[in-house]
Structure 1
């Protein structure tokens, strides 16, 4: 069981840092931050996710200096959050196509095990917020993602650190088609990841209250 908990922590780091693999273009439909297959991720949805993290960071620290440090460590939060939202959808589709399902009971068992490992529910929420920029309200959702990834890798006869796992996600993302709004960068197929567009007038949302230019 201890090994399973440790694997989950490592997997979260990998998911948080991994490139999105492949995509078919950077011409997202108006009003969308990205389009994954037939599903739109709206700018409002993206900004809401960022606001959730910023609010959690604000409530987790005692003073302005600590909050400023948290902001500085997550200066690319908007783009990284969009990356994660797209990757979530690609992974979920790959898992579904492979016949992988995750029950609520499995999520709760994983959460309970991690809470025991790190020292309680609050400690787990803090760890996920600080290390992976996952707001407490999204913790169960993120743990479901970890379980889907683990089960998908097992079904493929590999693990989440192996090229075979990421190739499966790459194939799925290519099948779905991923379009990114140019204000958040573009997808480099050869490098298999998001790159920043050369538009210096576009700024990332790095603090609460900042507005993304139209």
Structure 2
């Protein structure tokens, strides 16, 4: 994934405000896990709950059935994007700890207040984060904490979040943690610090084999 695209995925909120390890099939080594990051398991249930929070918020925000269907269609990759974010948050947290970076609750609240003033209120801010970044209202503070953590880490490294030095720190943290995704969600590339879809050429082969000649 392109550096700038990855930055948008991780730090989209800040940008807007400011301007593989594959296991065996079925992930038998970690049953029930969508991913294992270091000694922390992200269970399939946790992932589904997180996605459900977003879907519930989208349902509440859009009462028209046609608009809701369009919203669902436009966010078809929500599950994989959500898992990507959950893993990347832990990778960033490890990199920040390694660099001695911490974030206080007061910093989060101050940042949120600034964003609410720019957006036109708390509800407007929540609506923006839901629509543009797939963040449910109840996860907004946690997301803002990640944004601050990333900015402080970049500053500690003497760079910014779009530069190679920042992503090199996250890559190193990925290697230390040993990120392991359930194959159904792809794999984790420690060099690009991102989830990648698994290649499944057999799908094409099976489909072709089942086709009948015209």
Coarse TM-score class (shorter-chain normalised): 0.7 to 0.9
Match of 1:49, SS? helix
In the alignment, what sits opposite 2:209?
A: none
Match of 1:40, SS? strand
Task: Kindly state the Cα deviation for residue 162 of structure 1 after the two structures are TM-superposed.
Answer: 0.7
Deviations 1:123-179 (A, max 9, x none): 100000011100000000000000000000000000111110011000100111000
In the alignment, what sits opposite 2:179?
A: 178
Distance 1:146 1:126 in 2: 18
Match of 1:13 among 8, 16, 26: 8
Could you say if the C-alpha distance between residues 13 and 79 of structure 1 is closer, same or farther in structure 2, counting changes exceeding 3 Å? same
Gaps of 5+ in 1: 1-9, 18-23, 201-214
In the alignment, what sits opposite 1:26?
A: 22
Could you say if the C-alpha distance between residues 100 and 184 of structure 1 is closer, same or farther in structure 2, counting changes exceeding 3 Å? same
Which structure is higher in RCO with an 8 Å CA cutoff and minimum separation 6?
Answer: 1
Distance 2:53 2:186 in 1: 22
Task: Kindly state the Cα deviation for residue 195 of structure 1 after the two structures are TM-superposed.
Answer: 2.4
Show the 5 A alignment for 1:60-209. 60-188=61-189, 193-197=194-198, 198=200
4+ residue stretches of structure 1 with deviation over 4 A? 188-192
Q: CA RMSD in A?
A: 2.1
Partners of 2:175 and 2:190 within 8 A in 1? no
Gaps of 5+ in 2: 13-19, 204-214
Distance 2:193 2:120 in 1: 37
Partners of 1:11 and 1:146 within 8 A in 2? no
Task: Kindly state the Cα deviation for residue 190 of structure 1 after the two structures are TM-superposed.
Answer: 6.2
